[in-house]
Structure 1
Amino acid sequence: MNWADVGTALFGGVADYGEILALVWNSVIAGAVLGLVGGLIGVFVMQRDMAFAVHGISELSFAGAAAALLIGVDVVTGSIVGSLIAAGLIGVLGARARDRNSIIGVLMPFGLGLGILFLSLYNGRSANRFSLLTGQIVSVQTGQLGWLIALSAVALLALLLIWRPLRFDSLDPQSAAARGVPTTAVSLVFMLLLGLVVAVAVHIIGALLVMALLVTPAAAAMRVASGPVAVPVLAAAFGFISAVGGILLAVAGTLPVSPYITTISFVIYLVCRIVGARRGRVTRTA
């Protein structure tokens, strides 16, 4: 193995760092927003045991984006349509965990197969096809940035509006239903919000790796915190650090952005898991 080549691939463009960073500043902003919103919504993904659903929605989002790329329309629109269709189907048909998992298991290969079909028919730049799967640092154009920020803001605002009933339903659905919480409506709204956030994530990190920003930060936060405020704040902070840190590192290298984001996210989770385990041993000893 030639370690010099590895170093060049990871950090080869440091000399032109400022110029390249200016070119991808839209991606930095979009990544920061996605990291914050993804970390927050990821808390409920973990509480509702729906990490598998994130991957299922991302596959349909990928298929929608690939279809949009093929017919020459905005890929953000196609990604949103695919995400909302998947989220709606899972929310309506997957009321029970067993039904939800089977539906996701059916949608995932179907969406991935459709996406691969559309990409195989696409005759444009190969980089456009690759970016839908693994992310591309220059994929966020100026016109798309406003849409991505607007979608994230809508998702965040709606999430804050349903925060209390959603948290109640996530932690104790039986008691929530008994207290009159419209659990079906809350679940459906949450799934649609998750679909919007996944559609944004596909353009930053790619369809195959969205869980690195929508699951891992929240899972890490839950290892070291337990309060109703501490967990969301930590999850948002971890998501922000993973997304922005990954993009800033990718600027200096020649690899896609996704390996950097996923590595930072995994390292944060690993550290939190070690800290949580040590804290648990100390508590048991005391």
Structure 2
Amino acid sequence: MGEFFDWGLTAQLLGYGFVQQMLVAGAVLGAVAGLLGPLVVTRKMAFAVHGTSELAFTGGAAALLVGVGVGYGALAGSVVAALLLGLLSRRDSDRDSVIGAILAFGLGLGVLFLYLYKGRSANKFGLLTGQIVSVGSTDLWLLIGASVVVLGVLAAIYRPLHFASVDAAVATARGVPVRTLSVVFAVLVGIATALSVQIVGALLVLSLMITPAAAAARVTASPVRATLLAVLFAELAVVGGILLSLAPGVPVSAFVTAISFLTYLLCRGFGTPQTRTV
């Protein structure tokens, strides 16, 4: 185990610029995922996040095929997916079937794009499981810029959005534009999902977007404390996952998902009966 986790090598790698970029990208993404996660859990959108990640994968695969940045392709694919989910799911009863249809279509199209792509196989694998080492300075600025936009819009709509998330019927009666907020929030989640793909991959996005928030919901019923804990848990998972993955050279997603799930199990075990609802 000591050879697997070579802390001397880890300390040495921390001196490289690309590793520092990885940590900054991970920290920014952890903050975004932690802030959005509790609302995603409250609105029961876990399956929607998974569906959106498949379209982010499709967009990233298309970007590989045409030779543009994977981050831009993933972002475009996830926004398209979010808009489709928001516009087609006019009733809650339609949501799962719409997500299933979009997910299957996106995954099939993404597999076709990867088949047609003749470049390095590592790039294909990275879309599914994450490849944060490929996050360059351009991708980092894209991630930071997109995150600032997401957090700015979230801050502007948070109060009515939280009201609509807790009780949509009463919010509608009070004149809150529930439908519009749902579409806007779906787009925010889509952008965050696209940002997550390069770190944890399309298959494991839930480990950042859902698991930290679900863990936080096990230990507190307060929306504010749940959000703060979700951010803390997401940061622990992504930054801790990056640090643990450096020396052994194992994909970051393996450690991110392990830390997230362990955190969830601990919170589930120590949560109070009043908060054990997730």
Q: How does the TM-score come out when normalised to structure 1?
A: 0.92
Query: What is the CA deviation profile of residues 65-87 of structure 1, one whole-angstrom value per residue up to 9, with x for unaligned ones?
Result: 00001110111111111001100
- Could you tell me which residue of structure 2 aligns to residue 116 of structure 1? 111
Q: Which amino acid aligns with 2:9?
A: D
1:284 matched residue in structure 2: none
Give, in angstroms, the shift of residue 97 of structure 1.
Answer: 2.1
Question: 1:120 Cα shift?
Answer: 1.3
Moved over 4 A (4+): none
Alignment partner of 1:130 is 2:151: no
Gaps of 5+ in 2: none
Does 2:11 align with 1:18? yes
Is 1:195 paired with 2:190? yes
What RMSD over aligned residues (CA atoms) do the two structures have, in Å?
Answer: 1.4
Cα drift, residue 16 of structure 1: 2.4
CA distance in 2 between partners of 1:270 and 1:96 (Å): 33
5+ residue gaps, structure 1: 282-286
Q: CA deviation at 1:142?
A: 1.1
The CA distance in 2 between the partners of 1:263 and 1:167, in whole Å, is 30
Q: For this pair of structures, how many residues does the alignment match?
A: 272
**Shift in Å, 1:59:** 0.2
> Equivalent residue for 1:99?
94
Q: Does 1:240 align with 2:235?
A: yes
Instruction: Tell me the residue number matched to 2:59.
Output: 64
* Contact 1:223 1:273 (C-alpha < 8 Å) held by counterparts: yes
Identity %: 52
Question: Deviation per CA, 1:163-217, whole angstroms, max 9, x where unpaired?
Answer: 0000000000000000000001111110010111011000111000000000000
Q: For 1:73 and 1:257, how far apart are their aligned partners in 2?
A: 23
The answer to whether residue 244 in structure 2 is matched with residue 268 in structure 1 is no
Letter in 2 for 1:45: V
CA–CA separation in structure 2 for the residues paired with 1:273 and 1:27: 30
- Report if aligned partners of 1:65, 1:79 keep a CA contact under 8 Å in 2: yes
* Alpha carbons 1:140, 1:203 under 8 Å: kept: yes
* Corresponding letter in the other structure for 2:127: L
**Structure 1 residue 35: Cα displacement:** 0.8
Letter in 2 for 1:17: T
Measured in 2, the distance between the counterparts of 1:18 and 1:222 equals: 35
2:164–2:178 Cα contact (<8 Å) kept: yes
2:134 is paired with a residue whose SS is coil
- Whether the 8 Å CA contact 1:24–1:137 is kept in 2: the answer is no
Aligned amino acid, residue 201 of structure 1: S
Corresponding residue SS for 1:85: helix
- In 1: Cα distance, 2:244 partner to 2:105 partner: 34
Secondary structure of the 1:138 match is helix
Contact 1:139/1:204, CA 8 A, preserved across alignment = no
1:163 aligns with 2:158: yes
Of the three residues 35, 39, 62, the one matched with 1:44 is: 39
2:10–2:243 CA contact under 8 A, matched in 1: no
User: What is the letter of the counterpart of residue 19 of structure 1?
Assistant: Q
Equivalent residue number for residue 252 of structure 1 = 247
Instruction: Tell me which of 220, 227, 237 is aligned to 1:225.
Output: 220
Task: Specify the SS of the correspondent of 1:250.
Answer: helix
Partner residue in 1 for 2:146: 151
When normalised by structure 2's length, the TM-score is 0.94
Instruction: State how far apart, in whole Å, the 1-side matches of 2:266 and 2:9 are.
Output: 32
